[in-house]
Amino acid sequence: GAVVSQHPSRVICKSGTSVKIECRSLDFQATTMFWYRQFPKQSLMLMATSNEGSKATYEQGVEKDKFLINHASLTLSTLTVTSAHPEDSSFYICSAPAGTSGSDTQYFGPGTRLTVL
Amino acid sequence: GESVGLHLPTLSVQEGDNSIINCAYSNSASDYFIWYKQESGKGPQFIIDIRSNMDKRQGQRVTVLLNKTVKHLSLQIAATQPGDSAVYFCAENIQGYSTLTFGKGTMLLVSP
Q: What percent of chain B has pLDDT over 70?
A: 93
Q: Which residues of B touch A (CB under 8 A)?
A: 1-2, 4-8, 31-32, 34, 36, 41-46, 49, 51, 89, 93-105
* Mean per-residue pLDDT over chain A, rounded: 92
- Hey, of B98, B99, B101, B104, which one would you mutate to test binding to chain A, going by the most A CBs within 10 A of its CB? B98
B82-97 mean pLDDT: 90
The answer on pLDDT for A70 being more than 50 is: yes
pLDDT(A79) > 60: yes
A112 Cβ contact list (under 8 Å, min separation 6):
A6, A7, A8, A9, A10, A11, A21, A91, A92, A93
Cα of A45 vs its chain's centroid, Å: 11
What's the rounded Cα separation, in Å, for the pair A61 and B108?
Answer: 31
pLDDT of B3: 36
Q: What pLDDT band is residue B8 in, cutting at 50, 70 and 90? A: confident
Residues of chain B positioned with their CB less than 8 A from the CB of A106:
34, 46, 98, 100
Q: How far is A86 from chain B (nearest CA, A)?
A: 19
What's the rounded mean pLDDT across residues B3-22?
83
For A109, name the nearest residue in chain B, comparing CA atoms only. B43
Nearest to A108 among B44, B99, B104 (CB): B44
CA of A18 vs chain B CAs: smallest distance (Å): 22
Q: Does pLDDT of B97 surpass 80?
A: no
Residues of chain B positioned with their CB less than 8 A from the CB of A95? 43-44, 100
Beta bridge partners of A5: A24
pLDDT computed for residue A101 by the predictor: 55
What CA–CA distance (Å, rounded) separates B16 from B90? 23
Inform me whether the pLDDT recorded for A33 exceeds 80.
yes
